[in-house]
């Protein structure tokens, strides 16, 4: 028995609706797949970006650490060279001090001997009145010469002051007198006590009278 027209129409409508639903589902599935692909692509891009950022961060940190190490190395190197220079200077100072000590070795003994030489010099200025005094004076003169030679052999020499221009480095003025006709101003006209040098160092300045 043939189907009614209304029933056919309903069936057709149902089929059409089913096809539309299927098409929508297919479209939705396709869109979902595209979205998933897009998400994956974004994730990959994000992962690459994060990796690059991490790499750049690590590179920056490494560069900073390297710079800090270089700075510490430079500071240590500078301290090392400073310490080395200081040690070299200390060695030079020590060597110079040793040379000075050796150069002027014996000056304390020389200072102790000079008063003895002064007394001998004063004794020689006394006039001998008899034979015994002459013999005694001769003996004193021999001792004086021997002591003076011993001092000279050890680089201790008498300062030649009489008639020389006054020099406060070598002379100590204990008195001044007016200049006489045969004298020159600011010169030594009398020596009260001889002065002595140890090489180029003044052991004792000469005590002198200066004409002014």
How many whole angstroms separate alpha carbon 158 and alpha carbon 206?
9
Residue 33 has pLDDT above 70, yes or no: no
> Among candidates 104, 200, 121, which has minimal Cα distance to 159?
200
Q: What is the pLDDT of residues 52-110, one digit of tens each?
A: 778 888 888 888 888 888 888 888 888 888 888 888 888 788 667 666 655 666 778 88
Close Cβ partners of 184 (under 8 Å, ≥ 6 residues apart): 165, 211
How many whole angstroms separate alpha carbon 188 and alpha carbon 9?
156
Evaluate whether 117 touches 143 at the Cβ level (below 8 Å): no
What pairs with residue 188 in β-bridges?
Answer: 210
Residue 194, pLDDT score:
93
User: Is domain 104-211 annotated with CATH 3.30.1490.270?
Assistant: no
pTM metric for this prediction: 0.51
Residue 1, pLDDT score:
44
User: What would the mean pLDDT of 41-51 be, rounded to a whole number?
Assistant: 75
Look over the chain and give the mean of its residue pLDDT values, rounded to a whole number: 81
Q: Is 107 exposed, middle or buried (0-12, 13-18, 19+ CB in 10 A)?
A: middle
User: What would the mean pLDDT of 117-133 be, rounded to a whole number?
Assistant: 88
User: What would the mean pLDDT of 162-169 be, rounded to a whole number?
Assistant: 93
Percent of the chain with pLDDT over 70: 76
């Amino acid at each position: 028995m043939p189907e009614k027209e209304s029933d056919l129409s309903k069936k057709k409508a149902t089929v059409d609706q089913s096809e539309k639903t299927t098409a929508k589902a297919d479209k939705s599935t396709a869109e979902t797949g595209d979205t998933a692909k897009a998400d994956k692509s974004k994730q990959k891009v994000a992962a690459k970006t994060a990796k690059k950022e991490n790499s750049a961060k690590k590179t920056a940190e490494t560069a900073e650490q390297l710079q800090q190490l270089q700075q510490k190395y430079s500071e240590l190197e500078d301290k090392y060279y400073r310490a080395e220079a200081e040690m070299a200077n200390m060695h030079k100072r020590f060597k110079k001090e040793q040379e000075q000590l050796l150069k002027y070795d014996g000056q304390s003994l020389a200072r102790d001997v000079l008063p003895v030489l002064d007394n001998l010099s004063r004794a020689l200025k006394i006039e001998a009145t008899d034979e015994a005094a002459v013999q005694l004076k001769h003996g004193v003169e021999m001792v004086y010469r021997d002591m003076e030679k011993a001092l000279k052999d050890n680089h201790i020499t008498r300062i030649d002051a009489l008639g020389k221009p006054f020099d406060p480095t070598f002379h100590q003025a204990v008195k001044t007198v007016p200049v006489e006709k045969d004298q020159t101003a600011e010169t030594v006209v009398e020596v009260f006590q001889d002065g002595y040098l140890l090489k180029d160092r003044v052991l004792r300045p000469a005590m002198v009278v200066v004409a002014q």
